[in-house]
Structure 1
Amino acid sequence: MQTVKIGATSLPAVGIGTWHTGDDPQKRPAEVQAIRISLDHGVRVIDTAEMYGMGRAEEVVKEAIQGYARDQIYIIDKVLPENASHRQLERSLDQSLRRVGTDYFDLYLLHWRGSVPLSETVDELERMVTKGKIRHWGVSNFDVADLQELWQLPAGQYCVANEDLYNLDERGIEFGLLPLMKKHNLPLIAYSPLAQADTISGQLTTDPLLGELAANHQASVYQIMLAWTLRYGNVLSIPKAGSPEHALANIQAAAITFTDDELTALAKRFPAPTSKQPLATI
């Protein structure tokens, strides 16, 4: 499996996303099993957040990681912007730690910008590193101007990742943002890499080119979409897996490599942006 380095840690380039995990109690056993199957097959990263189901996703993660060595799992969590203050951040962090059942997070992200000054949030994140409650911190849903503001802060250089929406249907970050991140060696965590493929305007699951590439690689359209996000490296992609079958398919997608002709065809069918786009979020 391809790898990506976050901080000083090399990680498999496909992780586990948990958005909407825990929303349906009947699906919980399959969601727990999907996480365990992923860990059993070499996946290390689990990405969650206090916002996801208002803690329910974190509780599913807690159940799923029981019996696994903590130092073999890389857990990412996120704080809501309204909780990212001197008064509230540590309290929110402690609640998330309890729900996940761990005494530290490997990476803790500001979920998106809010009204709390960025300098205040960064000060608190640094304080949590000093206290040992998080190993590293980063940001999410940050655009060019946000990162430039962050890097002006005394501790801004300690940000180790930015998590943004990125998939075949949303390539806007390739103009401006990704080149800037590459220049600063800041890895991307790509959320929703499968683009909610059945519901978006592109109807990607029935796209003829994606179907042709899937047949050529003996893969599914979803696997082609996921592999595409990893094509240039320095990306950690975090698809959700609601079943063991989906989990295994996600892992296998990391082994897909495209020819230059295939990449050219994909770029023609799903063009890269030619100007700055508003940052896409969902």
Structure 2
Amino acid sequence: MPSSIKDTTVLHNGVHMPWVGLGVWKVQEGGEVERAVETAIRTGYVSIDTAAVYGNEEGVGQAIQRSGIARDQLFVTTKVWNANQGYDSTLKAFDESRRKLGLDMIDLYLVHWPVKGKYKDTWRALEKLYRDGAVRAIGVSNFQVHHLQDVMQNSEITPMVNQVEFHPLLQQKELRAFCSENRIQLEAWSPLMQGNSLDHPVLAGLAAKYGKSPAQIILRWDLQNGVVTIPKSVNENRIRENSDLFGFELTAEDMAQIETMNRNQRFGADPDNFNF
């Protein structure tokens, strides 16, 4: 169980990945994303998660370069967007992301969505990038069990990470079990349900019990489920709050209470039915 924001899980290739990171989805390029990343790094975060489609890779890179933190102390994730999937186009997209970030090495590169007819070729490109030493770890995002099985049956390397929508209203137990069995690290995007249902009675009760916010209760629940979590915020106080997840532990009964909240409810797109 992690005891600080710098603690890591070990991916199946031996790479250490921080349990907690800052997500920058919908954070504006320029000053807004730079301030958020700089605040996070000052607070102690060592993991930053961006994507080509977020349009803020350059700002993330600028903040990293200004931070003064040694490159090998940070873990940077980005993703290839749907329009750029396919073997050759993925390789080009990776080079563009690396240029924008101003980094020689990407720590984790993900296939953003399982685009039909393309994601297997995209995965082959990620395997090449990994074998070439351009990226330390490769994975996928928004892949269901059948997508993962399809990739694994037609590839040399099993994805190291699967980043998916995961929160108390969408607990994805079958997917979690499959990932655990295959040593694929599950990672939660939108762990705070995009601000929805934070006033749920279960969360409110546990927040009062522990003297924490509902958000901190959810993020602690992620960690105790063995799920990497990357809450997004541009607010300095919330960035700090979202890192303060240590020094308390939810009981088995508390964890079971949160499990009763599951509704299989998505706030993002369905990986089996998306159009972007």
* TM-score between the two structures when normalised by the length of structure 2: 0.86
> Quick check: 2:86–2:119 contact (8 Å CA) kept in 1?
no
Q: Helix, strand or coil for the counterpart of 1:145?
A: helix
Match of 1:114 in 2: 115
Instruction: Trace 1:1-282 onto structure 2 (pairs within 5 A).
Output: 1=4, 3-6=8-11, 7-22=13-28, 28-29=31-32, 31-52=33-54, 55=55, 57-66=56-65, 67-157=68-158, 159-171=159-171, 173-174=172-173, 176-198=174-196, 204-233=197-226, 235-268=227-260, 270-271=261-262
**1:90 is aligned with what amino acid?**
L
**1-structure distance, mates of 2:20, 2:97:** 23
Give the 3 Å change call, closer, same or farther, for CA 134–77 of structure 1 in structure 2: same
- Stretch moving more, 247-256 or 66-75: 247-256
Q: CA deviation at 1:168?
A: 0.9
CA positional deviation for 1:272: 7.2
1:229, distance to aligned residue in structure 2 (A): 1.6
C-alpha distance 271-49 of structure 1, shift in aligned 2 (>3 A) = closer
Q: Secondary structure at the match of 1:239?
A: coil
**Counterpart contact for 1:34–1:246, Cα < 8 Å:** no
What are the Cα deviations for residues 91-132 of structure 1, in whole angstroms up to 9, with x where unaligned? 111111111111121111000111443432222112222333
Structure 1: distance between partners of 2:216 and 2:35: 20
What is the identity, as a one-letter code, of the residue corresponding to 2:228?
A: L
Q: Where do 4+ consecutive residues of structure 1 move more than 3 Å?
A: 115-119, 278-282
Structure 1 position 279, deviation (Å): 5.3
Q: CA RMSD in A?
A: 2.2
**Which sections of structure 2, spanning at least 5 residues, go unmatched?**
265-269
- How far, CA to CA, are the matches of 1:167 and 1:207 in structure 2? 13
Q: Secondary structure at the match of 1:99?
A: helix
Change (3 A) 1:11 1:113: closer
Contact 2:79 2:109 in 1 (8 A): yes
Percentage of matched positions with identical amino acids: 30
Query: Deviation of residue 226 (structure 1)?
Result: 1.5
- Tell me, in whole angstroms, the C-alpha distance in 2 between the residues paired with 1:147 and 1:13: 22
Distance 1:105 1:116 in 2: 26
C-alpha spacing 1:243/1:123, structure 2 compared with 1 (3 Å): same
Deviation string 1:23-77 (CA, Å, 9 cap, x unpaired) is: 6x6xx34x4333223223432211110011xx2x212211211222111111111
Question: How many residues are treated as equivalent by the alignment?
Answer: 261
Report the CA distance shift for 1:254/1:149 in structure 2 as closer, same or farther (over 3 A): farther
CA contact (8 A) 2:47 2:76 kept: yes
SS at structure 2 position matched to 1:205? coil
| 3-state SS in 2 of match to 1:71 | helix
1:201 equivalent in structure 2: none
CA distance in 2, matches of 1:40, 1:281: 39
